[in-house]
Amino acid sequence: MKRETELTLNRPIAALNFLLTLAVTFLGLLAITFLIGRVVPIDPVLAVVGDRASTETYEAVRLQMGLDDPLIVQFARYVWQVMQGDLGMSVSTGRAVSEDLGRVFPATLEMATLGIIIGVTIGVPMGVFAAARQGKWVDQVIRVIGLAGYAIPAFWLGLVGLVIFYANLRWVGGPGRIDLFLDGMVPPRSGLLLIDSAIDGNWEAFRSALSHIILPATILGFFALAYIARMTRSFMLEQLSQEFITTARVKGVPERLILWRHAFRPIWIQLITVIGLSYAGLLEGSVMIETVFSWPGIGNYLTTALLNADMNAVLGATLVIGAVFVGINKGSDALYRLLDPRARA
Amino acid sequence: MSLLSVENLRVTFPSDQGPVEVVRGLSFELGRERLGIVGESGSGKSMTGRAVMGLIAAPGQVTADKLAFDGTDLRDMSESALRKLRGARMSMILQDPKFSLNPVIRIGAQIEEAMAVHGALTRSQRCARMLDALDAVRIDDPARVARLYPHEVSGGMGQRVMIAMMVVMEPALMIADEPTSALDVSVRGQVLDILDDLVKRRGMGLMLISHDLNMVARWCDRILVMYQGAIVEEIAAGQLYAATHPYTRGLVASLPRIDESRDRLPVLDRTAL
């Protein structure tokens, strides 16, 4: 009984604590993007008025943008705008940055999600299997695959994949999210083409979207897999050397259950953190893959914005990526505390 | 017929300096009695217990001229046949409940698993027997304890849970590998009492592995003294202090006593061996 009352007392406090650290982390993130915007040698006024504007116009716009205010006031204004979802206008697309991000982020999200699903469903069993056969040839093969995942550059794998599976074998769709003649045929709901086309019942579009996403997502999944399999393997080895594994053997528990019930169950909570981190990594780090596959995602958007000195777009995209990273981290943290009986007590 | 019959048991591990024999030609018989195995750290007593249970994993190697449990030869038994024996017919209590219970599975479920893997009972029968087993090791509120995780109970209670888990299938042979070393002195006697009671009532053969001479002398019928992987002396428990082998005498002489005053505790004189 005592334990239960403690739990009900602790939970709101823990939740408040959690929200507070989340708020502080986000404020820190905003401070960083704000400072980047001030430090880079791109004049935001010049970006608006152009090179040939008179000094009077320049000065008027500068005042209008509030750039003569103290830095802290500017920062407060920036935080206020971001909280209202206003990330400014993009110079290169002529639209609100938030609107642009709403369009490009789902594309990245879709690819990264499919990638992490592939990485987890293959990587976790691979790691478990490697640990169970430590030092045997299966373990060695898996280790080499893992090393390859670390060593091979993403763009190279993307290009080779396109040459083989698209240009030669014609097994998959080429660059882009969907075949050109189907582009814009699916009414956007979630922004995730696979889901939208399935809701719409447009199976031709679904097939096309799938054939376009499968290669880049598999490549992303391969990189996630390398990390996930390696971590799973070392977590498993640590567990398999514990005394409670001997206890299970003494009880006569079959080897399959020793692996999955006794050794895997303690680690899958740790794995959530690993998976969360590599998911965040895929969301922010797919710039190369998006470039190679002309994927209209956030990585591509960020690259274009950088090349055009479109600071609002750069900062907005950075902010979103940072927020996703923080969100996933905090999410897996919370999940860890919720799921591990030892951390719960 | 004896329950366990061991002849010339050898356990070998490879090392950089060639193979190392940790158990060197051990022979003994065990009936439905309490057999104590004592010796210092590294004398091979735990390895003996694990070899009998078939728990020496590669690259370790076990050989014996005879290794028979209840008339069945354990030496060439397949892993799956051995698995059917383990937990059901022979069982082992490990040293420290902090490490030997799975940290993320509830106590009740861990005990029930010991029955479930041998697949004899229904779910409700297993649950009833699990509660009985907890009750038998003198746990007050079995239903509450069954829902706890191992980190939520004390060491003494953890070890009683361990005993409940290992006796629930009523094995014929029980190996207790330092069952009280990790516990507070105050609960040691309690745990041993429970174990002793279960052994007597269910007619199990008990192999009590320990480095604690007094404890073994008190709780066992017969004692094997091991040194460097071999048995150096076999004596009835009452005669421990009349032991003849220099190693056993050395061990006995090393015990500090409360009614004497000594500047330094005596240590084993290995030159005499």
Of B87, B102, B118, the CB nearest to A250: B87
At residue A1, the pLDDT reads 40
Nearest chain A residue to B150, by CA: A342
- Give the CATH number of the domain where residue A218 resides: 1.10.3720.10
Give average pLDDT by consecutive 10-residue segment, chain B, 273 residues: 86 89 89 88 87 87 88 86 90 91 93 88 91 89 93 90 90 90 81 84 88 84 87 82 76 74 72 63
Structure tokens belonging to residue B60: 């370790």
> CA–CA separation, A244 vs B101, rounded Å?
5
Task: Tell me which residue in B99, B113, B166 faces A243 most closely, judged by beta carbons.
Answer: B99
Three-state secondary structure of chain A: CHHHHHHHHHHHHHHHHHHHHHHHHHHHHHHHHHHHHHHCCCCHHHHHHCCCCCHHHHHHHHHHCCCCCCHHHHHHHHHHHHHCCCCCECCCCCCEHHHHHHHHHHHHHHHHHHHHHHHHHHHHHHHHHHHHCCCCHHHHHHHHHHHHHHHCCHHHHHHHHHHHHHHHCCCCCCCCCCCHHHCCCCCCCCCCHHHHHHHHCCHHHHHHHHHHHHHHHHHHHHHHHHHHHHHHHHHHHHHHCCHHHHHHHHHCCCHHHHHHHHHHHHHHHHHHHHHHHHHHHHHHCCHHHHHHCCCCCHHHHHHHHHHCCCHHHHHHHHHHHHHHHHHHHHHHHHHHHHHCHHHHC
Q: Which amino acid is at A136?
A: K
Which of A83, A112, A138 is a domain's end point? Answer: A83
Euclidean distance between CA atoms A91 and A209, whole angstroms: 30
- Looking at residue A53, its pLDDT comes to 79
Cβ pair B94:A257 closer than 8 A: no
Evaluate whether residue A302 is within a structural domain.
yes
Assess whether A242 and A117 both reside in one domain. Answer: yes
One domain for residues A235 and A292: yes
- Phi/psi for B226 (5° steps) reads -110, 145
State which residues form the domain around A254: 103-344
CATH number at residue B63: 3.40.50.300
Q: Are residues A137 and A47 in the same domain?
A: no
Please indicate, yes or no, whether residues A205 and A322 belong to a single structural domain of this protein: yes
Same domain? A231 vs A183 = yes
Å between B224 CA and nearest CA of chain A: 23
Contact between chains at A250 and B55 (C-beta distance less than 8 A): yes
Tell whether A75 and A107 lie within a shared domain.
no
Cα separation, A205 vs A198, in Å, equals: 8
d(Cα A196, Cα A277) in Å, to the nearest integer?
27
Q: Is residue A40 part of a domain?
A: yes
Please indicate whether, in this complex, the C-beta atoms of A247 and B102 are within 8 angstroms of each other: yes
| B74–chain A nearest CA distance, Å | 15
Residue A89 lies in a domain: no
Query: Which structural domain, as residue segments, surrounds residue B54?
Result: 4-272
What distance in Å separates residue B246's CA from the closest CA in chain A?
A: 35
Predicted confidence at residue A10, as pLDDT, reads: 66
Q: Is residue A263 part of a domain?
A: yes
Residue of B nearest to A267 (CA): B104
pLDDT of residue A186: 79
Q: Low-confidence residues of chain A, pLDDT below 70?
A: 1-10, 285, 344-345
The C-alpha of A341 sits at a distance from chain B's nearest C-alpha, in angstroms, of: 6
- Per DSSP, chain B holds a count of helices (H) and strands (E) of 10, 11
Q: Rounded CA gap, B246 and B271, in Å? A: 10
* A209 and A294 co-located in one domain: yes
Rounded distance between C-alpha atoms, residue A324 and residue A283, angstroms: 8
Average pLDDT, chain A: 86
Prior bond of B150 cis (ω within 30°): no
Q: Note whether residue A94 is domain-resident.
A: no
Please name the member of A250, A261, A341 whose beta carbon is closest to the beta carbon of B86: A250
Q: Which residue in A253, A254, A265 is closest to B104 by CB distance?
A: A265
Q: Which amino acid is at B132?
A: D
Q: Do A262 and B114 touch (CB under 8 A)?
A: no
Question: Which two three-digit tokens encode residue A165?
Answer: 């599976």
Question: pTM for the complete prediction?
Answer: 0.81
Domain identity same for A284 and A339 = yes
End position of a domain, from candidates A83, A111, A127: A83
The answer to the question of residue A266 being in a domain is yes
CB contact under 8 A, B101 and A246: no
- ipTM of the shown complex: 0.87
On whether both A198 and A325 belong to a single domain, the answer is yes
Count: domains in chain A: 2
Q: Do A251 and B100 touch (CB under 8 A)?
A: no
- Do A28 and A132 sit in the same domain of this protein? no
| Number of domains present in the structure of chain B | 1
Q: Which residue of B has its CA nearest to A266?
A: B104
Are residues A74 and A141 located together in one domain of the fold? no
Judge if A110 and A222 occupy the same domain.
yes
Q: What chain B residue is nearest to A340 in terms of C-alpha separation?
A: B104
